[in-house]
Amino acid sequence: MEDVRVLISLIMLMIAQLVYWDASRNKIGRQKGEKGFLNMPAGGWAALSSLTFLAIGPITWVLYLLKRKKMIAKAITNPIVLSKAHRIFVHILLFIIPVGLSYLTTPKITASESSVHEELALTAADLNKGLPQKIDEVTQLDNISVENLNMSYHYTVNIDSTQIATVKKFVTSNAIKSQCGDTDARNLIKEHGVSYLYDYKLTDGTPLFQIHINNKTCGDAGY
């Protein structure tokens, strides 16, 4: 998930740089005497294009493309000329500000959380040495993965549609007892925010269901 977020941020950063390059090259800018929010300088178009919040970025790109020809036409008679130093400075800001905001808004793992994450990762790595493994006649544990403070168990089951509800009910009950009823696991959940995911799919790869175990799950179950 974090990789996707980084990729989206990089794409938006590149588009913001392109918007500013195009606007400044065509001498697009705020026109004197005109009113309206969209009458903004090249840097304004670029800055808004870099925002992911409430899809402001994509909306700005569309508006810029729709207004681009008219703004270029106005720039022919009233060009907004920016110095080379000014353009370089804005390009640098368009890189620094989004990266800085991304860093500040990304959840940080504390030293304690990092230690717990390492413990989970080591446990998963150790268990994965013996996987995949048959659990029963219809269930196979494929692998275990860890992301931040979440440990996920990935299973494949060989059942038909008439068995899904029964299997899910059985698995949910056992998963809650296994994690919430275990002293060490319950402590990790309650004190450190660890969560567990049981991910089930059919033998053909079709996703079946997922079971999430966290502090609320345990509390609701009376643990």
User: What mean pLDDT comes out for the span 159-164?
Assistant: 93
pLDDT at 93: 83
Whether the Cβ atoms of residue 113 and residue 193 lie closer than 8 Å to each other: yes
pTM recorded for the entire structure = 0.54
Going across the sheet that includes 150-157, the strands are 133-134, 139-147, 150-157, 195-202, 207-213
In the block, residue with structure tokens 């446990």: 123
Give the model's confidence band at 204: pLDDT under 50 very low, under 70 low, under 90 confident, else very high: very high
State how far the Cα of 125 lies from the Cα of 129, in Å rounded to an integer.
7
How much of the chain, in percent, has pLDDT values that exceed 90?
65
pLDDT at 131: 96
The CA R_g of the chain, rounded to the nearest whole Å, is 26
N-to-C CA span, the chain: 30
3-state secondary structure of 212: strand
pLDDT at 13: 83
State how far the Cα of 220 lies from the Cα of 223, in Å rounded to an integer.
8
pLDDT tens track for 96-130: 776 666 655 555 555 567 889 999 999 999 999 99
Residues of the chain by 3-state class (helix, strand, coil), percent to 5: 60, 15, 25
User: What mean pLDDT comes out for the span 178-205?
Assistant: 94
pLDDT tens track for 52-103: 666 788 899 899 999 999 999 999 999 999 998 988 888 888 877 766 666 5
Backbone dihedral region for residue 201 (phi beyond 0: left; psi -120 to 50: alpha; all else: beta): beta
pLDDT at 99: 64
- Measured at the CA of 45, the angle between CA 40 and CA 49, to 5 degrees, comes to 155
Residue ranges and CATH numbers for the domains of the chain are 2-105 (no CATH), 113-220 (3.30.300.250)
The whole-chain average pLDDT of the chain stands at 88
